[in-house]
């Protein structure tokens, strides 16, 4: 050991037996022409709970506030982002990299469906190929200047989610659940994964929380009473939005017109993202 050992091996070049190696970061460098300030991951325990919807709505809200916004669709086997925005064009590449497609309101998007010849072609790839593709969406896409990038993660805590958590500098995650899910188990898994990766949880969004009667405006709990508030309290996280089951939302997604959706459903979480990531 050096006589003047300060126990901070990272600032010392002595090769002694007491040396403590720092774990090597696996975070990948983005493309040289990308300058992405904040990255937010949207996760869920299983498919079909509205993770892509929440990702799209967050990007639309941030864009409306004047931020340059992007969506990296890491849900490679179930990519629904291009459809929600009505994107029909295919992405192209030049000698420097791949160019994202811009939506009508100026949100930059990259998704495997923008690279497949037919939207309906299935992605029958093994995990490492899918993980490699998601990494390339970060390293090989020329994103330019982006204030907020939203990453639509694959459902669950599998191989690809792990790759995204390790290779992208995620600043925070939003967990999306629905009342009929095994919420407690899913929240617990997501919280543990985020803790292990040292990533802050910005909050929980409960989708399909209730249905509002168009005549009397009574809120009907279609899936019974939710326990989300108790569970959130148990894990020390905040329920940051409750979205209704709303035929207009489904219709706008189907028509590729999600950018026209009005409503202040996500105001609280948008404020939190702005504050936490300042």
The site for ligand ATP (CB under 6 A) is made up of: 44, 47-53, 75, 78, 80, 155, 207-208, 243, 245-246, 249-250, 253
Using the structure block, give the residue that is written with the tokens 């899913």: 186
Spatial separation of the C-alpha atoms in residues 241 and 232, rounded to whole Å: 12
Least separation in angstroms between residue 132's CB and ligand ATP is 20
CA distances from 51 to 23, 54, 78, 176 (A): 32, 5, 11, 6
Q: Annotation-wise, does 48 bind a ligand?
A: yes
Burial class (CB in 10 A: 0-12, 13-18, 19+), 139: middle
Nearest by Cα to 178 from 30, 12, 14, 47? 47
Determine if residue 52 is labeled as part of a ligand binding site.
Answer: yes
**Cα distance between residue 202 and residue 172, in whole Å:** 6
Rounded to 10°, the helix 247-254/51-64 angle is: 80
For ligand ATP, which is the closer residue by CB, 142 or 164? 164
Rounded least distance, CB 61 to ligand ATP, Å: 15
Residue 46 known to bind ligand? yes
For the record, the structure tokens of 272 come out as 């939190």
State which residue, 139 or 246, has the beta carbon closest to ligand ATP.
246
Nearer to ligand ATP, 7 or 218 (CB): 218
Task: Check whether 50 is labelled as a binding-site residue.
Answer: yes
CB closer to ligand ATP, 34 vs 52: 52
| Pick 22 or 124: Cβ nearer ligand ATP | 124
Q: What's the min distance (Å) between Cβ of 85 and ligand ATP?
A: 12
156 known ligand binder: no
Contacts of 191 (CB under 8 A, 6+ apart): 201, 235, 237
Min CB(54)–ligand ATP separation in Å: 7
39 to each of 83, 165, 176, how far by Cα in Å?
A: 22, 11, 17
Minimal distance in Å, beta carbon 92 to ligand ATP? 25
Annotated binding site for ATP: 45-52
Annotated binding site: 45-52
């Amino acid at each position: 050991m050096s006589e003047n050992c300060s126990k901070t091996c990272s600032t010392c070049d002595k090769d002694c037996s007491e040396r403590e190696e720092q774990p090597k970061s696996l975070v990948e460098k983005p493309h040289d022409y990308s300058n992405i300030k904040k990255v937010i991951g949207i996760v869920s325990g299983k498919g079909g709970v509205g993770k892509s919807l929440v990702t799209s709505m967050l990007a639309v809200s941030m864009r409306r506030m004047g931020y340059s916004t992007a969506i990296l669709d890491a849900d490679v086997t179930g990519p629904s982002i291009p459809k929600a925005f009505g994107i029909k064009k295919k992405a192209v590449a030049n000698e420097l990299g791949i160019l994202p497609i811009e939506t009508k309101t100026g949100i930059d998007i990259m998704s495997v469906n923008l690279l497949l010849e037919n939207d309906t072609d299935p992605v029958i790839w093994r995990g490492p190929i899918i993980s490699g593709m998601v990494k390339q969406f970060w390293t090989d896409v020329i994103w330019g200047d982006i204030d907020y990038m939203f990453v639509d993660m694959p459902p669950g805590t599998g191989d690809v989610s792990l790759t995204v958590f390790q290779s992208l500098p995620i600043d925070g995650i939003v967990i999306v659940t629905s009342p009929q899910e095994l919420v407690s188990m899913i929240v617990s898994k997501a919280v543990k994964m985020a803790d292990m990766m040292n990533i802050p949880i910005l909050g929980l969004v409960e989708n399909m929380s209730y249905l509002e009667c168009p005549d009397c405006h009574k809120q009907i709990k279609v899936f019974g009473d939710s326990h989300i508030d108790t569970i959130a309290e148990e894990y020390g996280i905040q329920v940051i939005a409750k979205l209704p089951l709303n035929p207009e939302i489904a219709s706008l997604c189907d028509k590729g017109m999600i950018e026209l959706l009005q409503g202040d459903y996500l105001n609280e979480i948008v404020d939190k993202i702005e504050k936490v990531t300042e």
